[in-house]
Amino acid sequence: MSTTAGPGAAEDPAGTPGLLHGFVVQGRVIHALVLRELQTRFGRSQIGFLWLFVEPLMLASAIGLLHWLADHRKGAGIPVFLFYLIGYTPFFAFRAIISRAPSAFHSNMTLMYHRQVRLFDIVLARHLLEAGAVLTVTVAIVVGTALVMETLPPSLPALAGGIVLLVFYAHGLGMLAAAAASVSDVAERMIHPLVYLSLPLSGAFFALHHMPPSFRALVLWNPQANLHEMVRDGMFGDVLPAYYDVPYVLGAVALVNLLGMAALRAVRPRLEF
C-alpha cells in the first residue's frame, strides 16, 4: 500500500518529513563546519586540538593561583583558587565567543556559495566549538573538586544551567558582533577591547553578596552578572548566598538571540562573495 503526501509535506526518499529532513541537513552542515573550524585553527596536530581545552584551564588556573597567593579570601569554606577558577572559566567562553565572531564571515566567505550554508550556521559552528571546550573544562573542575574535596557541587543543574545560558547569551551577542563587523571596520576593532572592559562588571571575579544592596541591584541589570551568580550558586550553594533572576536572564538571552538572527538576516544581502 502506498500513500501520497500533500504539497506541504515533502518527503525525502527515506520517508522523512521535509521539516525534519531540513534539520538533519543543517545538522550535518554545522557538524562539517565545526570540523572545518578545528582543522583551520589547529591543522592535523593533536597537540593543537588539546590546546582548545588546555588554554581556558591554564588561564583560569593561573588567575586562581594568583589570587590564592594574594590571599583574597571569599568567605568561610570557599577555596580562593576554586572561586576564581569557576569564575574565569565561563568568562573565557564569553570572551572567546564574542571576540572570534567578527572574523567568522571573512574566513568562511567561500562557503557561502553553497546554498545549504547560512551565516547562522557559520557563527553557530564557531560558538559550539568554544562552548564544548569550556563545558569540558568545567566537567574536569567538578571531577577534580570531587576527588580532592570528596564532595560534589550542591546543585549541578544550576551550575550547568548557568554556563549553558551564558553561552547562549554570548552566542546572541556574537551574532550581533559578527553582523556589525561585516559592515563596519570600526565596530570590528572595538569589539575585542569592549569585551575586556566588560570584565569588571561581569561578576566573574566578585560575589554580589559582598556588595552594598544598592550597588548589587545596579549590577544585577547585567544578565552576565546574574549568570555568574547562578554558576557560583551551583558550585558553592548556601556557603555563599547568590543573587540572580532566572526569568530576567531567559528574557535577555531570548532578546539578544532574536536581535542577532535579525541582524544576520539584515546584513546578508550586503556581503560580497
pLDDT tens-digit series, residues 213-249? 889 999 999 999 999 999 999 988 888 888 999 999 9
Between residues 181 and 270, the one the model is more confident about: 181
Domain enclosing residue 241, as ranges: 18-268
Q: Is residue 167 part of a domain?
A: yes
Q: Is residue 2 part of a domain?
A: no
User: How many CB atoms neighbour CB 30 within 10 A?
Assistant: 18
With a CB cutoff of 8 Å and minimum separation 6, the contacts of 62 are none
- CA nearest 85: which of 138, 15, 17, 155? 138
Quick: pLDDT tens for 133-147.
788 888 887 887 777
Given this model, what pLDDT does residue 225 score?
A: 92
33 contacts 117 by C-beta, under 8 angstroms: yes
Cell of 176: 550581533
Rounded Cα–Cα distance for residues 256 and 174 (Å): 9
Q: Is residue 258 part of a domain?
A: yes
User: How many CB atoms neighbour CB 228 within 10 A?
Assistant: 28
Quick: pLDDT tens for 94-130.
988 898 888 777 766 666 666 667 788 888 888 888 8
Confidence of residue 29 (pLDDT cuts 50, 70, 90): confident
Please give the backbone phi and psi of residue 77, each rounded to the nearest 5 degrees, phi first: 85, 0
Q: Is residue 5 part of a domain?
A: no
CA angle 240, 222, 125 (to 5 degrees): 100
Rounded Cα–Cα distance for residues 179 and 265 (Å): 9
State the pTM of this model. 0.80
Calculate what percentage of the chain has a pLDDT beyond 70. Answer: 74
Q: Is residue 202 part of a domain?
A: yes
Q: Is residue 8 part of a domain?
A: no
Q: Is residue 11 part of a domain?
A: no
Q: Is residue 6 part of a domain?
A: no
How many structural domains compose the chain?
A: 1
